[in-house]
Amino acid sequence: MEVLNSGRSVLDAIEKGINVVENDPKVDSVGLGGYPDAEGNVTLDACIMDSNGNAGAVAYLSNIKNPISIARHVKEKTAHVLLAGKGAQKFALQNGFKKENLLTPETKKRWERWKQTNKEMHDPVKDNHDTIGLLAIDKNGNIAGGVSTSGWAYKMPGRVGDSSIIGASLFVDNNVGAACATGLGEKVIETVGSFLIVEKMREGYSPLEACKIAIKRLSKYNNSNIFQVSYLALNKDGEYAGFSNQKEFSYSIVTNNLSTIVKSDYLLK
Ligand code: GLY
């Protein structure tokens, strides 16, 4: 809101808002201090989409704490949409970003504890997939969105989640609205959730109805009760909603008159 109120663009608000979370070492699922993979390496996914339908993304980016800013650079300074791994890191360094160790003493300690007790990957339900997804609309009705995460804790090295996949974790159509996702990225990719939600809003469904349709698609999985997927949607009129397959999903709403945390409704009661 501070960025928007200072007269800067809705895309600036998305990037700067997500940077706050990426820079916070206490948030253990995004940026600095994010969960590492099974070998102790923190690898990050992010994507961003603007009001003109242009997108940028990074996948499997290491040692750069602000993947959302690199995603924006990909969108604005290359002919591509998605850069991954070493190439994404090289691009970040060429653009003046700093190489940093993202594994904090706290997340290192937790990873070492996990290594002693777990031979398999962590359970996707118990683990935190607290991706940040941020959608914003400005006073002129322009919409943008972004997503940033360290992904599934102790994932297989090489794993890329939904947060770098436009259409899965994020979609923006300035004529209709936007949607973003958090939770088990594999299921979000397989159901192309955010694109589905925006298309449903285009058909006239409300943000809540559209999120429910995307969550119901998860019922194709026999085990949809053992993982978590949650969506947020925002339409052109500024109406918004969140919906989850399971309980315990909350999201924040900030306007000039309001700053609050809302408990999302959910499907599996
Ligand atoms: N939704 C974040 C991830 O699964 O990587």
For the stretch 167-201, pLDDT in tens is: 999 999 999 999 999 999 999 999 999 999 999 99
CB-neighbour burial class of residue 265 (10 A; exposed 0-12, middle 13-18, buried 19+): middle
Q: Give pLDDT, residue 225.
A: 85
DSSP state of 268: -
Share of the chain above pLDDT 70, in %: 96
Q: Give pLDDT, residue 124.
A: 58
Q: Is 31 in the pocket of ligand 1 (CB under 6 A)?
A: no
Q: Whose CA is closest to atom 5 on ligand 1? A: 151
How far does the centroid of ligand 1 lie from the alpha carbon of residue 140, in Å?
A: 31
How far does the centroid of ligand 1 lie from the alpha carbon of residue 29, in Å?
A: 9
pLDDT of residue 237 exceeding 70, the answer is yes
Q: Whose CA is closest to atom 4 on ligand 1? A: 185
Q: Is 124 in the pocket of ligand 1 (CB under 6 A)?
A: no
CB-neighbour burial class of residue 203 (10 A; exposed 0-12, middle 13-18, buried 19+): exposed
Average pLDDT over residues 75-88: 98
How far does the centroid of ligand 1 lie from the alpha carbon of residue 139, in Å?
A: 31
Closest atom of ligand 1 relative to the 161 alpha carbon: 5
Say if CB 76 and CB 62 are below 8 A apart: no
Closest atom of ligand 1 relative to the 159 alpha carbon: 5
Average pLDDT over residues 67-86: 98
**Lowest model confidence (mean pLDDT) among 59-73, 107-121, 218-232:** 107-121
How many CB atoms are located within 10 Å of the residue 234 CB? 24
Q: Is 131 in the pocket of ligand 1 (CB under 6 A)?
A: yes
**Lowest model confidence (mean pLDDT) among 70-74, 109-113, 208-212:** 109-113
Name the residue with tokens 């309980």.
Answer: 247
For the stretch 18-33, pLDDT in tens is: 999 999 999 999 999 9
Known catalytic membership, residue 182 = no
CA distance 43 to 151: 8
How far does the centroid of ligand 1 lie from the alpha carbon of residue 185, in Å?
A: 4
The pLDDT confidence band at residue 122, using thresholds 50, 70 and 90, is: low
pLDDT of residue 81 exceeding 80, the answer is yes
Q: Is 183 in the pocket of ligand 1 (CB under 6 A)?
A: yes
Share of the chain above pLDDT 90, in %: 88
Q: Is 159 in the pocket of ligand 1 (CB under 6 A)?
A: no
CA distance to 38, 110, 151, per residue, from 118 (Å): 10, 12, 18
pLDDT of residue 129 exceeding 80, the answer is no
Please tell us whether the domain made up of 2-266 is placed in CATH 3.30.70.260: no
Coil, helix or strand for 245? coil
Q: Is 150 in the pocket of ligand 1 (CB under 6 A)?
A: no
Closest atom of ligand 1 relative to the 181 alpha carbon: 1
Catalytic residue among 131, 149, 182, 191: 131
- φ, ψ (nearest 5 deg) of residue 83: -115, 145
